Amino acid sequence: MDLNTIEKIQKVIWDSDNVVMVSGSEVFREGGLNGLRAEHIVYDIEQKYGFSGEEIVTSQIYSRQVAMFFEYYKDIILNKEKPDNTTVYDVVAKLEKEGKITNIVTKMVYDFYEDAGCEHIVKLYGSVEENRCPACGKIYNSKYIKQAKGTPKCSECGVILRPGFSLFGEQIDNKRLTHAVDAIEGADVLLVAGISLNSFGWQNMLRYYDKDKLVLINTEEKIGDERANYCLYGSISDIFAKLAKEAEKNKKEESAKKAKKSDSKKSK
């Protein structure tokens, strides 16, 4: 990893007070989770279910083969109760608290940013923690889904629950979409992590950013990444940890400088 680039990127991010983070699928995959599509294990999924993840998370399967839908939900989407440690969520939460990151835009359906203490999250697809009874509106979390015997139903009315995320082929909630586009368009720095800039379903949205501080952090280089002004490849978690460390170092140096200055003033 090029350390000079880490330093440069650290400076770009920490010098801004309007960084918008776009968080892609490689971020939660580093924690061992599959996500909705699970396209990285598409072959295994087709073997097991006879469909791809993209075909299963649809209203057709939900309405016609609801047992299979929930089997996929429990075993593939909720494949891990506790993800492996990743520093990304904590570093992002810290950056938000320090007033650097203003919005986090993601299609991730897990609540890791919320759990880390982030507040301004635009979840385009919704959340596995907000499954709803279509009859009474009661909300059920992912644990309830995972632990349900067979198809999860409302404990009050016995009606089959609706997942807390949008199904493929359904419209993404318009309010969330507008919020995401406005944030990306208005960003000073756009920090994209865990997706390539050409990735399907993101490339149109990322085009709303037209300034020259596009930072890309991903596991590997992909075609189309040339558009980024700064790139870092490797473990996303490691890169975020290094960015945070670099920032701490700079902070200490700065406060040491300030202390020195005020000392020399006093001695005059």
User: Residue 240 has which token pair?
Assistant: 């975020």
Q: How far is the CB of 153 from Zn ion (least distance, A)?
A: 8
115 binding Zn ion? (CB under 5 A): no
Whichever of 120 and 162 has its CB closer to Zn ion, that residue is: 162
Whichever of 135 and 259 has its CB closer to Zn ion, that residue is: 135
- CB of 234 closer than 8 Å to CB of 220: no
Indicate which single residue of 20, 45, 133, 190 sits in contact with Zn ion (rule: CB under 5 A).
133
Q: How far is the CB of 162 from Zn ion (least distance, A)?
A: 11
Whichever of 158 and 223 has its CB closer to Zn ion, that residue is: 158
- CB of 109 closer than 8 Å to CB of 37: no
Query: Which of these segments, 21-29, 100-108, 131-139, 233-241, binds Zn ion (CB under 5 A)?
Result: 131-139
**Distance separating alpha carbons of residues 205 and 263, to the nearest angstrom:** 50
Q: How far is the CB of 134 from Zn ion (least distance, A)?
A: 8
- Residues whose CB is less than 8 angstroms from the CB of residue 216 and which lie 6 or more positions away in sequence, other chains included: 192, 193, 197, 225, 228, 230, 231, 232
Whichever of 48 and 132 has its CB closer to Zn ion, that residue is: 132
Whichever of 158 and 263 has its CB closer to Zn ion, that residue is: 158
**Distance separating alpha carbons of residues 171 and 113, to the nearest angstrom:** 24
Task: Name the residue with tokens 């993101």.
Answer: 202
Q: Which of residues 135-194 bind Zn ion (CB under 5 A)?
A: 135-136, 138, 154, 156-157
Amino acid at 195: I
139-140 and 101-106 beta bridge pairing = unpaired
Which residues contact Zn ion by CB under 5 A? 133, 135-136, 138, 154, 156-157
